[in-house]
């Protein structure tokens, strides 16, 4: 009965896919433009002066590009993980994959590797994220319930957070506490085109890899055995998801720190609009994530340009109330 | 007869003061370390803070070398059996409370953010260690240098001290006091920034100062906090603007060394003004 209703809802929603996708892409595009227009030195673009050009090209453009790419990576990987683990709580932040990426990046910077060899920074983020993703999947196993998965995720993200803090404490760095904020709460402040070149290609590569999993995830909604009968190789699927998440989230975290809640909230927000089938949800979540992170970053610069408010704080402020609403709604539907 | 009594009394007083003067002094912060080194002989210092020998923070690394360094925990201080502990307000407060409860003599020096605060800190420590005269002569020497550095002419070029983590110190900071004393207008004041104010890179690019004062090279810290100074837009600006490096140990703490910072800034101001005059 419920499955039939869900199926009908899914079909009904499916008709909206193209317009919704178009609207999401437009929203992301608008947020991108707003990100170019808004900044602490004033609203607008001034191409008539050197300073104006420098501000647009060197300061605002990299920030907007990274916001779009990182938001897209987080939204997309959230949708993929929720589909693969068939768990509504799955998300790179909650599962410790972002935390692993941050730890890898911190080690790359503080060991001096990133200073000696620029690619060490995204490589460290990638490696940390990959290890965390593999650890979560091994700990939680294929047939685990939501509880095991979340417990494994909590353990790994706490461990990654603790090791990140420890690495910063042990480094000869008088700004360790400030830097902890960066890695644990995320920021796009003062990111430059260098960071775009470091992280951008890897995020795009990982995102493309994740987008190819849509069909297999569709089949997986019918159950593992049914998916295997439909020709889905679960081992290959898992390898693609680990690699794609590690590339996209690891590279994103290496230049922006951990930005939470995007991967969790965006797929939930879009499911009622595009339906439950991952194939449609994945690209929609990518656009949605990009729009959300860009909008949060623009909000931050509009209302608190001088302060130390971090991007992760704004996404959590938007994300946490929504998440609570989701919990309450689910409880009502399922009964007490 | 009366004269003899006075001499005797004075002699006795001096003897008492000498016996009373602490001989095993421990300082717990990098700022009080440097003031203490100015005021007493090395043999009277039982320990300094571990940061006293850090060249990125302390201006007295050579003098501090060889002395014991502590992190400010009550236990390690206790083991040294000090007869005077000098700490700073808002720093290692739990340890200070415990040391006081255990009956140690603790002098708490307020955090100085201007010259008057620095004079007060010198007097406070000088009195506690029984070196009042030495303290007064240090202050007099500083005041003399400050007067000598007084800027000539009405021009006040706009300067901005910009550090890692986008810090641009406004009024209520030593950097601001030094900039004003050297004859600059601190641009952080236009933005109503406080002592620990932050200025987005974009605003500096949009409205650049006449002089950019830099403290640390970002390469001193393997850290993301220096990313604002590594930014290509900032590098471009530094290549176009007059700028100078002002070593952090000179102005991190309120010590008489701030006079060195004022001298360096004053020299830069004179160079800027004469270059400007040549252009006109």
For residue B252, what is the enclosing H or E element? none
> What is the three-class DSSP state of A285?
helix
* Number of domains comprising chain A: 1
Backbone angles phi, psi at B185, to 5 degrees: -100, 120
Q: Please give the Cα distance from A260 to A264 (Å, whole number).
A: 8
* Best B166, B215, B224 residue to mutate vs chain A (most A CBs within 10 Å): B224
Q: Which stretch, A106-110, A196-200, A221-225, B110-114, has highest mean pLDDT?
A: A196-200
CB contact under 8 A, A182 and B224: yes
Q: Answer whether A44 touches B (CB < 8 Å).
A: no
So what's the pLDDT on residue B280?
52
Please check the confidence at residue A336 and state whether its pLDDT lies above 60: no
Cβ atoms of B270 and B251 closer than 8 Å: no
> What is the three-class DSSP state of B214?
strand
List the single range of A91-100, A166-175, B12-21, B266-275 with lowest mean pLDDT: B12-21
- Per-domain boundaries in chain B: 22-146, 158-279
DSSP state of B85: E
The residues with which B214 forms a beta bridge, in sequence order, are B162, B245
Instruction: Write the CATH number for A78.
Output: 1.10.3470.10
Read off the pLDDT of each residue in A235-246 and give the average, rounded to a whole number.
Answer: 90
What token pair was written down for A178? Answer: 């400030």
Its pTM stands at 0.80
Query: Identical fold at B22-146 and B158-279?
Result: yes
List the single range of A203-207, A290-294, B90-94, B123-127 with lowest mean pLDDT: B90-94
Q: Please give the Cα distance from B158 to B129 (Å, whole number).
A: 42
Q: How large a percentage of chain A has pLDDT more than 90?
A: 43
So what's the pLDDT on residue B16?
43
So what's the pLDDT on residue A62?
94
pLDDT, chain A, mean? 86
> What is the three-class DSSP state of B236?
helix
Cβ atoms of A82 and A267 closer than 8 Å: yes
What token pair was written down for B188? Answer: 């952080």
**Structural domain range at position A76:** 2-334
Q: Which CATH class is domain B22-146?
A: alpha beta
A252-268: per-residue pLDDT in tens?
999 999 998 899 999 99
Q: Please give the Cα distance from B192 to B84 (Å, whole number).
A: 40
Q: Answer whether B223 touches A (CB < 8 Å).
A: yes
Q: Which residues of A touch B236 (CB under 8 A)?
A: 54, 58
Which residue has better confidence, A268 or A115?
A268
CB contact under 8 A, A179 and B225: yes
- The ipTM of this complex is 0.72
> What is the three-class DSSP state of B114?
coil
Counting as low any pLDDT under 70, the low residues of chain B are 1-19, 278-280
So what's the pLDDT on residue B7?
44
Question: First CA to last CA across chain A, in angstroms?
Answer: 20
Instruction: Match domain B158-279 to its CATH number in 1.10.10.10, 3.40.50.720, 3.30.930.10, 3.40.50.1980.
Output: 3.40.50.1980
Sign of the alpha-carbon dihedral angle for A188, A189, A193, A195:
negative
So what's the pLDDT on residue A12?
52
Q: Answer whether B222 touches A (CB < 8 Å).
A: yes
Read off the pLDDT of each residue in A84-97 and give the average, rounded to a whole number.
Answer: 86
């Amino acid at each position: 009965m419920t499955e039939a209703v869900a199926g009908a809802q899914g079909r009904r929603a499916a008709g909206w896919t193209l317009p919704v996708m178009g609207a999401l892409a437009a929203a992301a595009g608008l947020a991108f433009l707003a990100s170019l227009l808004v900044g602490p030195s004033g609203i607008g673009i001034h191409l008539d002066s050197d300073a104006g050009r420098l501000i647009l090209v060197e300061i605002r453009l990299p920030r907007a590009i990274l916001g779009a790419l990182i938001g897209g990576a987080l939204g997309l990987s959230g949708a993929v993980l929720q589909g693969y683990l068939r768990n509504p709580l799955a998300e790179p932040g909650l599962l410790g994959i972002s935390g692993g990426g941050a730890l890898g990046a911190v080690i790359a910077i503080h060991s001096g590797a990133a200073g000696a060899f620029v690619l060490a920074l995204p490589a460290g983020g990638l490696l940390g994220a990959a290890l965390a993703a593999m650890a979560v999947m091994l700990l939680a196993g294929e047939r685990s319930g939501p509880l095991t998965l979340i417990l494994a995720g909590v353990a790994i993200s706490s461990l990654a957070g603790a090791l990140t803090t420890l690495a910063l404490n042990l480094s000869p760095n008088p700004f360790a506490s400030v830097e902890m904020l960066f890695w644990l709460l995320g920021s796009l402040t003062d990111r430059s085109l260098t960071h775009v070149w470091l992280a951008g290609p890897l995020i795009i590569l990982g995102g493309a890899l994740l987008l190819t999993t849509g069909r297999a995830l569709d089949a997986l909604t019918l159950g593992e055995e049914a998916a295997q009968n439909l020709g889905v190789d679960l081992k290959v699927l898992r390898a693609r998801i680990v690699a794609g998440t590690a590339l996209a989230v690891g590279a994103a975290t290496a230049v922006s720190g951990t930005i939470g809640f995007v991967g969790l909230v965006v797929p939930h927000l879009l499911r009622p609009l595009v339906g439950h089938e991952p194939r449609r949800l994945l690209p929609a979540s990518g656009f949605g994530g990009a729009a959300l992170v860009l909008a949060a970053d623009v909000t931050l610069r509009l209302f608190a340009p001088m302060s130390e408010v971090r991007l992760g704080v704004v996404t959590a402020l938007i994300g946490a109330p929504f998440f609570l609403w989701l919990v309450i709604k689910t409880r009502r539907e399922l009964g007490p | 007869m009366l004269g003899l009594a006075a001499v005797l009394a004075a002699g006795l007083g001096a003897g008492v003061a000498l016996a009373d003067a602490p001989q095993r002094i421990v300082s717990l912060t990098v700022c009080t370390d440097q003031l203490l080194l100015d005021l007493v002989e090395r043999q009277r210092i039982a320990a300094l803070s571990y940061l006293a020998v850090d060249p990125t923070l302390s201006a007295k690394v050579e003098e501090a070398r060889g002395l014991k360094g502590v992190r400010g925990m009550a236990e390690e201080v206790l083991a040294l059996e000090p007869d005077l502990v000098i700490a700073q307000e808002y720093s290692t407060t739990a340890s200070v409370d415990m040391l006081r409860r255990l009956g140690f003599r603790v002098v708490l020096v307020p955090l100085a953010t201007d010259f008057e605060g620095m004079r007060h800190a010198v007097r406070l420590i000088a009195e506690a260690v029984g070196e009042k005269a030495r303290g007064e002569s240090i202050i007099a020497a500083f005041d003399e240098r400050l007067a000598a550095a007084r800027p000539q002419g009405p021009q006040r070029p706009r300067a901005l001290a910009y550090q890692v983590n986008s810090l641009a110190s406004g009024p209520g900071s030593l950097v601001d006091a030094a900039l004003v004393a050297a004859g600059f207008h601190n641009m952080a004041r236009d933005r109503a920034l406080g002592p620990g104010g932050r200025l987005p890179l974009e605003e500096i690019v949009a409205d650049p100062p006449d002089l950019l004062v830099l403290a640390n090279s970002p390469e001193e810290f393997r850290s993301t906090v220096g990313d604002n100074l590594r930014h290509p837009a900032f590098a471009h600006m530094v290549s176009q603007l007059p700028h100078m490096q002002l070593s952090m140990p000179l102005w991190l703490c309120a010590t008489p060394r701030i006079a060195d910072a004022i001298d360096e800034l004053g020299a830069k101001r004179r160079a800027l003004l004469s270059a400007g005059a040549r252009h006109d």
